[in-house]
Structure 1
Amino acid sequence: MMGARPRARGPSVKVLEHVMASVAVTCPVCRRVGSHLPPELPCACGVPVVLPLVDGGMGEPVERRDWGEEWLAVRCVACGRTTRWPRPAYGCPCGTLLRLAVEAAGAPGSVPLARRPGGLAPIRSARDAVTAAALHLGRLGHGEIHRAAQPAPAGVALAARGLLAHVEPSRRRLTVRDVECLWLAALAAGADPVGFTRGGPEPEAAASAVRLGVPLFALEATGLVRPLNEAAERLGR
């Protein structure tokens, strides 16, 4: 089943910054420089979106509320989905409420992307694991990644066009049942199966994945996603 279907290339997107940093904000009224930590906003695919605020930008005083200016459309770098989020504001100690500057989109009329990271984000939590898996699928060329409509018996199920992925975000080892359930669910959906694990597969599960042709990837604590079998290695070529 793997390799028989041509895979549509995902959107040409940059990698999401998961380890956030504060941005400097300059108040045009008092010239004081403050700092603001961009919030993490939950995309429907499970990957947190970090708004692309300009570091060191000049804030715009909010003199009156305008509904159209209170919302910001940002494209998720993992799945390409565009969502409107409340535009962040910063309260300067001088009493001025500032609307924060956002990085311009790459082309006129396009939607800005979330900020990119300086390196791999370590995997410390279940959400980190799902984020790493979704971003890796994006690097493999899959776009529109989202939570699968049919949840997995255990772990988290992600889906894209022609693909069904099982992510075990805990340190529990993958079992034969996990691999077989993923393979059967993908077969029923007419999709290719892919598995991600933090704890690694049990020996019987690894053998079952080889027999069924299910690619398995290890989610390392450093953020590295490492292929565990030949089927996974073929996906990265």
Structure 2
Amino acid sequence: MSESMAMRCPDCGREHRYAAPAYPCACGAPVAPALDHRAAPTAVTHRTWDEDWVTVRCGNCGRADQWPHPELGCSCGTVLRVPVAGALRPLGPGDTRRTTGADDGPRGAFHPVTIRTTRDAVTAVALYLRWLGYQDIRRADQRQPAGIGLAARGVLAQVDPSVRPASLRDVECLWLTAMAESTDCVYFSLAGYADDARDRADGLGVSLFVLDLTGTPQPMNRTATELAATGAST
């Protein structure tokens, strides 16, 4: 079980007790960041990739992977960033420590995270991409018309948390951006896809997934089914 710590909201003064969630390492051991009991939580006023993710080393196998930085929502509306002890810097493209890759052996079961917010949806997709075997997951440089882009070696992914089905234009814009970068592309939508968007994705070879609220991506076309079955080819 993860350790817990008491902390106070800097905005309203409410007391909270927080335990960091554990995520499964590729070796199967649960991994949770160590909390810094000497530091105070800070309010999240804006987001950057480096602040939203923290690199934690598995105590069982020594692997260093990126996991969501611990956060807690106070009832006053403030989102608290929980201090982490001894956090490593985020992994960069030139770092010798890598996230889980397809060459790490047979994949275990995917462990989703419940989706309540847009950040949860991005976290769920990032974890799924890692489970597929993609490496160096980061925010994409190019903005898309809808949602949030993630990039990894060999793939460009779109996370669409809106309540409307993804449109034909959404799918085509993702495909065009991926073509310009000579990479594959994958679309993740919470609300599904318009019929013409699904037809166009089949013709372009775009993998389509639907995210349910448990955080488990469900393949919606043949290329997505094949990707889920075989994992990344990079």
Give yes or no for TM over 0.5: yes
Q: CA deviation at 1:143?
A: 1.4
Aligned-pair CA distance for 1:53: 4.4
Instruction: Note closer, same or farther for the CA distance 1:24–1:206 as it changes in structure 2 (3 Å cut).
Output: same
TM-score, normalization by structure 1: 0.56
In structure 2, the residue matched to 1:178 is: 170
Counterpart residue number, 2:227: 235
Residue in 2 that maps onto 1:88: none
CA deviation digits over 1:38-73, x for unaligned, max 9? 579xxxxxxxx962349xxxx89xxxxxxxxxxxx8
Distance in 2 (CA, whole Å) between partners of 1:195 and 1:76 is 30
Q: Are residue 75 (structure 1) and residue 67 (structure 2) matched?
A: no
SS at match of 2:115: coil
SS of 1:205 mapped into structure 2: helix
Aligned counterpart, 2:209 = 217
SS in 2 for 1:204: helix
Aligned residues with identical type, % of pairs: 41
Supply the distance in 1 between the matched residues of 2:203 and 2:153 (Cα, whole angstroms): 24
1:148 equivalenced with 2:140 (yes/no): yes
Runs of 4+ in 1 over 4 A off after TM superposition: 99-102
**Greater RCO structure (CA 8 Å; 6+ sep):** 1
- Partners in 1 of 2:4 and 2:65 — Cα distance? 24
Q: C-alpha separation between the residues in 1 aligned to 2:165 and 2:57?
A: 30
How is 1:1-237 mapped onto 2 (pairs within 5 angstroms)? 23=4, 36-38=17-19, 51-53=33-35, 74-75=55-56, 80-81=65-66, 120-237=112-229
> Gapped runs of 5+ residues in structure 2?
7-15, 22-30, 39-53, 59-63, 70-82, 87-96, 100-110, 230-234
Relative distance call for 1:37 and 1:171 in structure 2 (3 A) is same
**202 and 21 in structure 1: CA distance in 2 versus 1, 3 angstrom threshold:** farther
For the structure 1 residues 130 and 24, does the alpha-carbon distance in structure 2 shift closer, same or farther, using more than 3 Å as the test?
A: closer
8 A Cα contact 1:197 1:217, kept in partner: yes
Structure 2: distance between partners of 1:193 and 1:155: 14
Q: Deviation digits for residues 110-131 of structure 1, max 9, x if unmatched?
A: x9x9xxxxx5322122111111
Question: Any idea what SS the aligned residue of 1:166 has?
Answer: strand
CA distance in 1, matches of 2:228, 2:168: 24
Q: What TM-score, normalized to structure 2? A: 0.56
2:5 touches 2:18 (CA, 8 Å); kept in 1?
Answer: no
In structure 2, the CA distance between the partners of 1:196 and 1:101, relative to structure 1 (3 Å rule), is: closer
The structure with the larger Rg is 1
**What amino acid is aligned across from residue 190 of structure 2 in structure 1?**
R
Q: Aligned with 1:190: secondary structure?
A: coil
Q: Deviations over 1:135-189 (max 9, x none)?
A: 1100000111111111112211110111111110222210000110011100000
The one-letter code of the counterpart of 2:206 is V
1:227 CA drift (Å): 0.5
C-alpha distance in 2 between matches for 1:130 and 1:182: 16
Shift of 1:21: 6.9
Number of residue equivalences: 158
In structure 2, distance between residues paired with 1:183 and 1:219: 20
Separation in 2 of the partners of 1:172 and 1:76? 39
Q: Is the 8 A contact 1:157 1:167 kept in 2?
A: yes
